[in-house]
């Protein structure tokens, strides 16, 4: 059976690693779990690590070759397999099954997947779970948020009253990354001890405040309803559409550069994207081809001209249509 997060923490503290791990689910939680496993691997003498990025042209024979390879320094090795879609396909499932059936000594395979649901599971996940460990990290449910925040505060030497934890949960609007960032800030600003509701009010910035960064992130994440809600909030707060379109054009140009790149991972490094942003764009580009992003960029430029009075039209209405198109390419009408 898959491990829950509490069981995962106990398994991670063991004095040996299992042959294979699949960490799947909510991106922030998966990235942190993978970092913790890598740290434990280093502590246990895994001096070598090989990263395998599964893309559209990935050769699954590379997994077998990496597993069979000889260590340069006669040490334990960690194979770090990045499977963003969580779907290895027929060839990938076969390669993973073969590894699980006969794992090499002194080699551990770590698989991370940021896109996950019950539909991803199959014979390969059952074989993997039998040979090693499958851990699914889900975002907290609405009624679990205050408890999740309290637990994360505790892990960093802080605590908060129930009302204070609830206040922070309300401020971050269900955004795991925003919650993690705010808690990290609290460590610096407050230090050790318990945080009262009044202190939380003073220390925590309103992370639910609508801004251009959250708008573009929601749109590229495919969260059309949320993105349009943020856009309406920006308009109500009196934000200038010209400044907003400048940032949106910047992000569409980034998406187009990534879409044009032969090697997405290499281009992401050139762009200095941190892992969460890299996964955001990776998922967005899987939803639509290069031509879609080129059309979106052209439309954004047109809206920018409208906002500056250089072209006829209703810029805010057109911005709504563009945001919906970015978020849900298949549902959007043909761009004009």
pLDDT at 160 over 90: yes
Element (H, E) at 45: none
Cα→Cα distances 145→153, 167, 199, 202, 229, Å: 12, 10, 19, 20, 22
pLDDT at 72 over 80: no
pLDDT for the residue numbered 206: 52
Tens digits of residue pLDDT in 74-87: 578 999 999 988 99
Element (H, E) at 194: strand 193-195
Task: Provide the β-strand partners of residue 276.
Answer: none
Long-range contacts of the stretch 170-179 (C-beta < 8 A, 24+): 170/208, 171/204, 171/206, 171/207, 171/208, 172/207, 172/208, 173/207, 173/208, 174/139, 174/142, 174/145, 175/207, 176/26, 176/28, 176/29, 176/139, 177/28, 177/276, 178/207, 179/148, 179/149, 179/152, 179/207
User: 């934000």: which residue's tokens?
Assistant: 239
Tens digits of residue pLDDT in 17-52: 999 999 999 888 998 899 999 999 999 999 899 999
Q: Which range, 160-174, 188-202, 293-307, 322-336, has the best average confidence (pLDDT)?
A: 293-307
pLDDT at 208 over 60: no
∠ Cα 274 275 278 (to 5°): 85
CA distance 115 to 280: 11
Of 60-74, 111-125, 146-160, 243-257, the range with the lowest mean pLDDT is: 60-74
Percentage of residues in the chain with pLDDT exceeding 70? 95
Percentage of residues in the chain with pLDDT exceeding 90? 52
CA distance 206 to 245: 23
CA distance 164 to 161: 5
pLDDT for the residue numbered 205: 60
When pLDDT is cut at 50, 70 and 90, the band that residue 243 belongs to is: confident
Give the mean model confidence (pLDDT) for residues 280-296: 92
The dihedral built from the CA positions of residue 228, 244, 208 and 152, taken in this order, carries a sign that is: positive
When pLDDT is cut at 50, 70 and 90, the band that residue 333 belongs to is: very low
Give the mean model confidence (pLDDT) for residues 43-68: 91
Task: Identify the residue with better confidence: 330 or 200.
Answer: 200
Average pLDDT score over the chain: 88
CA-based end-to-end distance of the chain = 51
User: 């009044």: which residue's tokens?
Assistant: 198
CA distance 322 to 295: 10
| Spatial contact of 196 and 161, defined as CB atoms under 8 Å apart | yes
pLDDT for the residue numbered 150: 92
pLDDT at 267 over 80: yes
Task: Identify the residue with better confidence: 151 or 192.
Answer: 151
Q: Which residue, among 130, 96, 90, 135, has the nearest Cα to 112 in the 3D structure?
A: 135
∠ Cα 163 165 171 (to 5°): 100
When pLDDT is cut at 50, 70 and 90, the band that residue 73 belongs to is: low
pLDDT at 279 over 60: yes
pLDDT at 204 over 80: no
pLDDT for the residue numbered 71: 60
pLDDT for the residue numbered 188: 78
pLDDT for the residue numbered 332: 55
Structure tokens at 130: 């039998």
DSSP alpha helices (H): ranges in the chain? 5-12, 27-43, 61-68, 89-101, 123-131, 145-155, 162-172, 176-189, 197-203, 212-220, 224-236, 241-260, 264-270, 275-287, 290-307, 315-327
Q: Please provide residue 87's backbone torsions phi and psi, each rounded to the nearest 5 degrees.
A: -120, 105
Using DSSP's 3-state secondary structure scheme, residue 317 falls into helix
pLDDT at 292 over 90: yes
For residue 163, count other CB atoms closer than 10 A to its CB: 12
Task: Identify the residue with better confidence: 136 or 71.
Answer: 136
pLDDT at 236 over 50: yes
């Amino acid at each position: 059976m898959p491990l829950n997060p509490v069981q995962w923490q106990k398994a991670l503290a063991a004095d040996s690693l299992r042959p294979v791990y699949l960490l799947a689910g909510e991106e922030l939680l998966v990235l942190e779990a993978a970092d913790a496993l890598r740290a434990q691997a280093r502590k246990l003498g895994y001096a070598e690590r090989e990263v395998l990025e599964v893309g559209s042209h990935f050769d699954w024979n590379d997994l077998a070759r990496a597993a069979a390879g000889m260590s340069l320094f006669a040490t334990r090795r960690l194979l770090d397999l990045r499977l963003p879609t969580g779907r290895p396909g027929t060839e990938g499932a076969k390669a993973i099954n073969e590894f699980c059936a006969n794992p090499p000594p002194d080699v551990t395979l770590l698989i991370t997947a940021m896109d996950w649901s019950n539909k991803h599971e199959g014979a390969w996940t059952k074989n993997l779970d039998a040979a090693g460990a499958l851990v699914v990290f889900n975002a907290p449910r609405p009624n679990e948020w205050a408890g999740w925040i309290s637990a994360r505060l505790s892990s960093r030497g802080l605590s908060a009253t129930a009302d204070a934890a609830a206040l922070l949960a309300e401020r971050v609007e269900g955004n795991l990354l925003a919650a993690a960032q705010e808690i990290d800030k609290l460590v610096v600003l407050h230090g050790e001890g318990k945080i009262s509701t009044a202190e939380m009010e003073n220390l925590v910035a309103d992370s639910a405040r609508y801004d251009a960064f959250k708008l573009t992130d929601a749109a590229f994440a495919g969260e059309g309803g949320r993105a349009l809600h943020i856009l309406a909030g920006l308009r109500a707060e009196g934000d200038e559409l010209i400044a907003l379109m400048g940032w949106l054009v910047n992000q569409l140009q980034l998406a187009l550069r990534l879409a044009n790149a032969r090697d997405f991972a290499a281009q992401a490094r050139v762009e200095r994207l941190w892992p969460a942003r890299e996964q955001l764009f990776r998922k967005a580009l899987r939803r639509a081809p290069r031509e879609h992003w080129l059309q979106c960029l052209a439309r954004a430029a047109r809206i920018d001209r409208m906002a500056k009075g250089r072209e006829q039209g209703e810029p805010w209405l057109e911005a709504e249509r563009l945001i919906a198109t970015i978020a849900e390419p298949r549902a959007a009408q043909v761009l004009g």
